[in-house]
Structure 1
């Protein structure tokens, strides 16, 4: 962010902290005021990725309601739903799946991650009904 004005970098930092901390109301207010819902940090993590990885279902829900891309991969090719599976954040996994998350996106996929950790219960959430 070296070529970004200091004030903008500070604002972005505050918004990323809100996502990590799970401040759903604060995130909603900033996005409603014009902060891009798919804002990314220098690692390619979106607000929804940070909120999901840190286990904040309400923050993820608020971002999804505002059009967050639940399938956007970070620079390491990881998806928000795979991160939530990895961290064992079951409620977040459900919010993301309900919001349209692709359980086969990224590497490893959310399905692969659930299998790796023996999370058969999440495999049923991640697999569409036949």
Structure 2
């Protein structure tokens, strides 16, 4: 499989599509590469990710939901893949179509070590998703006290409010403001 992927990546990078094992349609080839790339991130297949990295594949390629390989690796608890992607230059601050980051996904899934690693990047601890929520709000809501403390140490504003008036501190105490029924 790795040899096959290397041949696809080599052909793709040189725009040579004559190999009968590869799709003749550049869009189909791009989709196939993207599928392999995201599957490697989900599985934590670092050697496969290395193949993409060595071939110069765009690390911050996004799928139809806006997920990057880093977001997927963090969400699926693949610490070695997260580390490799970060070392290769993947954008830790990238947001999916709903504005969620790899850090938010790691906090949601309870991946404490991955979240700690992502906290060591240069991203703002107060980065907000499309719903106006921060990573600290996720940490409070999902009772990740150790991460809430780490976010505070990094400078996160635990009193920042989402559009409903929820703060990370309130969420950590179980005080959740919900939208009014319609």
TM-score relative to the length of structure 1: 0.90
User: Aligned runs of 1:37-52 on 2, under 5 Å?
Assistant: 37-52=59-74
Matches within 5 A, 1:62-81: 62-81=84-103
99-108 or 30-39, larger mean C-alpha shift: 99-108
* 1:88 equivalent in structure 2: 110
CA distance in 2, matches of 1:14, 1:39: 12
Do structure 1's residue 17 and structure 2's residue 42 form an aligned pair?
no
Is residue 123 of structure 1 aligned with residue 148 of structure 2? yes
Q: For residue 4 of structure 1, report the CA deviation from its aligned partner.
A: 5.7
**Deviation, structure 1 residue 97:** 1.2
Aligned mates of 1:44, 1:17 — CA distance in 2: 15
Instruction: Please give the per-residue CA displacement for 1:16-37, whole angstroms capped at 9, x wherever unaligned.
Output: 0001111122112212211101
Distance apart, 1:128 and its partner CA = 2.8
Match of 2:80 in 1: 58
The answer on whether the counterparts of 2:126 and 2:134 sit within 8 Å (CA) in structure 1 is yes
**Aligned 8 A contact 1:81 1:101 in 2:** no
Count of equivalent residues: 128
Answer 1 or 2: higher relative contact order, Cα 8 Å, separation at least 6. 1
Question: Are 1:37 and 1:47, in contact at CA under 8 Å, matched by a contact in 2?
Answer: yes
**Which is worse superposed, 29-38 or 42-51?**
29-38
Distance 2:113 2:26 in 1: 35
Structure showing greater Rg: 2
1:105-124 to structure 2, matched below 5 A, reads 105-107=127-129, 108-124=133-149
Query: How far is 1:93 from its partner?
Result: 0.3
Segments of structure 1 that go 5 or more residues without pairing to the other structure are none
